[in-house]
Amino acid sequence: MGYHLRMNVQETVLMQLRDLILGGTFAPGHRLAEQPLAERLGASRTPIRSALVTLEQEGLIESSETGKYLVRQFTPQEVTDAIAVRGHLEGMAARLVAEHGLTRQLEAELQRCLHAGDKLLSDNPLTLNSYTAYGLMNDQFHAAILNACGNRALQRAMAMNDKLPFAQASAMLPMQGRVSLDRDWMQYAHKQHHMLLDALKQGASARAQSLAVEHTEVAQMNMRLALERRVDSEACMPGIRLVVA
């Protein structure tokens, strides 16, 4: 689908900033100013500004009374709870789509996503462009199912949950600190995408729901592993790397 071509600088900057926060480079309370970030990442201030707005929407940073962006402090339990809620909401959405019947248009869209993901994950090692493009594909795959479920209350609940740290589908995308391991996790998660589409095509609603919930449990498991690897025993989240779900 040309995800590499459609990818823009703002999305690449967004992923780099997420990684700097998760890696602990920017600790809770750290001020994120546009110009220093632009110089650090070799980008203009415009994509930096857009990325900061997105990070605030994702719950990773917050704005102070003076309008400055500060890295937010949050606990592992907050993240665990947000991912769990996402799993149940996506499970319900997948079940509803399977019950209603998969349309040809939705099937084609999901299949295009899977094909793009297969191609992107064939890169070894994965590059920053690979990660960013995969995130775009992953967002579209999950959004397509949610949009097709037909339940507006569920969609509103997901929109609210997406404002919590690491609750969005691709906010959990890992970066390049452990490329080989991250690639393995991402390939496993993408295999689940294939399995979910198969269940939707078969109209297997219970199976589709179970797969959607299990899909987010991959992120939960990787988060626990990341916590165990931490040298710093602080309860705040920077330093944790999560797999895409």
For the stretch 9-60, pLDDT in tens is 888 888 888 878 877 788 889 999 999 999 999 999 999 999 999 999 988 8
192 and 150 share a domain?
yes
Would you call 23 helix, strand, or coil by DSSP? coil
Check whether 181 has a pLDDT greater than 60: no
Query: Which residues touch 84 (CB under 8 Å, ≥6 apart)?
Result: 216, 220
Q: What is the pLDDT of residues 155-169, one digit of tens each?
A: 999 999 998 887 888
Please provide residue 70's backbone torsions phi and psi, each rounded to the nearest 5 degrees. -125, 140
Residue 234 falls within a domain, yes or no? no
Closest by CA to 72, choosing from 53, 83, 54, 59, is 59
**Number of domains making up the chain:** 2
86 and 203 share a domain?
yes
Q: What is the pLDDT of residues 142-151, one digit of tens each?
A: 999 999 999 9
Residue 60 falls within a domain, yes or no? yes
11 and 109 share a domain?
no
Instruction: Please give the pLDDT value at position 185.
Output: 81
Apex 164 CA angle, 159 and 166, nearest 5? 105
26 and 134 share a domain?
no
Q: What span, in angstroms and rounded, lies between the C-alpha atoms of 165 and 188? A: 23
Residue entry with tokens 């823009």: 8
Query: Which residues touch 172 (CB under 8 Å, ≥6 apart)?
Result: 83, 166, 219, 242, 243, 244, 245
Q: 19: domain CATH number? A: 1.10.10.10
53 and 124 share a domain?
no
Sign of CA dihedral 210, 211, 214, 215: negative
Q: What is the distance, to the nearest Å, from the Cα of residue 150 to the centroid of all Cα atoms in its chain?
A: 23
Closest by CA to 172, choosing from 134, 118, 229, is 134
Domain that holds residue 31: 3-71
